[in-house]
Structure 1
Amino acid sequence: MPESHDFFVAADPGSVRARVRGALVREGYTVEDGEQGALRATRGSMGLTLLIGGLANDRTFHTRLDVQIMVASDGRTVARLLRGAGTSALKGGALGVSRGNRAFEQAANAIHTDLAQAGVLTESIPG
């Protein structure tokens, strides 16, 4: 499973940030501004996840994702979706890893769909 996903977009960083934020909010994430224009998205309950682990459903299993927004050398805006560093296994064993993978994939698909429907996505590369 990739640890990141890069979305190359023919739009300004501000509008890309707004679209990515909207896509993640529709997936049930709370999105906060991070440093240098990044976004930090969280979903679910850490307490409940630690208590019942992988038995939590997709919306209650605690997930954290980060998005870096930058400009590539060719002038396109890049939104890089990053998964949390290996904590899914600690929060629910094999089921936790599966839930974390699914959450990352769902978020990447939601961002991809939003940018593609807006007609601004030029390239999408899992990394």
Structure 2
Amino acid sequence: MPESHDFFVAADPESTRARVRDALVREGYSVEDGDQGALLATRGSLGLTLLIGALANDRTFHTRLDVQVMVTPDGRTVARLLRGSGKSALKGGAIGIARGNRAFEQAANAIHAELAGAGVLTDSVPG
């Protein structure tokens, strides 16, 4: 499973950040602004996940994702989805890892759909 996913976008960083934020909010994430224009997205309850681990469902299982929005030297905007801090294995063993992988994949698909639907996605590269 990739640890990151890069979305190359034919739009300015601010509108890209707004579209990514919207996609993550629709997936149930609470999104906050981070340093240097990053987005910090969390979903679920850490306390509940640590208490019941793998018994938490996809929406209550604690997940953290980070998004860096940057401009390449050639002027393209890139939104990089990263697995956030927090170890899924510690929050439910093998099932926790699977839930973390699924959450990352669902978020990547939601961002891809949002950017492609807006007609601004030029490339999408898992990393």
TM-score normalized with structure 1 length:
0.98
The structural deviation recorded for 1:113 is: 0.2
Residue correspondence of structure 1 range 68-83 to structure 2 within 5 A: 68-83=68-83
Residue correspondence of structure 1 range 100-119 to structure 2 within 5 A: 100-119=100-119
- Aligned residue-pair number: 127
The answer to whether residue 41 in structure 2 is matched with residue 41 in structure 1 is: yes
Measure, in 2, the Cα distance between the counterparts of 1:68 and 1:117: 21
TM-score normalized with structure 2 length:
0.98
Partner of 2:84: 84
Partner of 1:50: 50
The structural deviation recorded for 1:85 is: 4.1
Identity of aligned residues (%): 83
Residue correspondence of structure 1 range 8-27 to structure 2 within 5 A: 8-27=8-27
Q: Which runs of 4+ in 1 moved over 3 A?
A: none
Name whichever of 85-94 and 43-52 sits farther off: 85-94
Measure, in 2, the Cα distance between the counterparts of 1:126 and 1:23: 18
Structure 2 gaps of 5+ residues are none
SS at match of 1:89: helix
The structural deviation recorded for 1:73 is: 1.8
Partner of 2:95: 95
Measure, in 2, the Cα distance between the counterparts of 1:111 and 1:82: 12
User: Which amino acid counterpart does residue 27 of structure 2 have in structure 1?
Assistant: E
Partner of 1:3: 3
The structural deviation recorded for 1:86 is: 5.8
| Superposed CA offset, 1:30-66 (max 9, x none) | 0000000000000000011001101110000000000
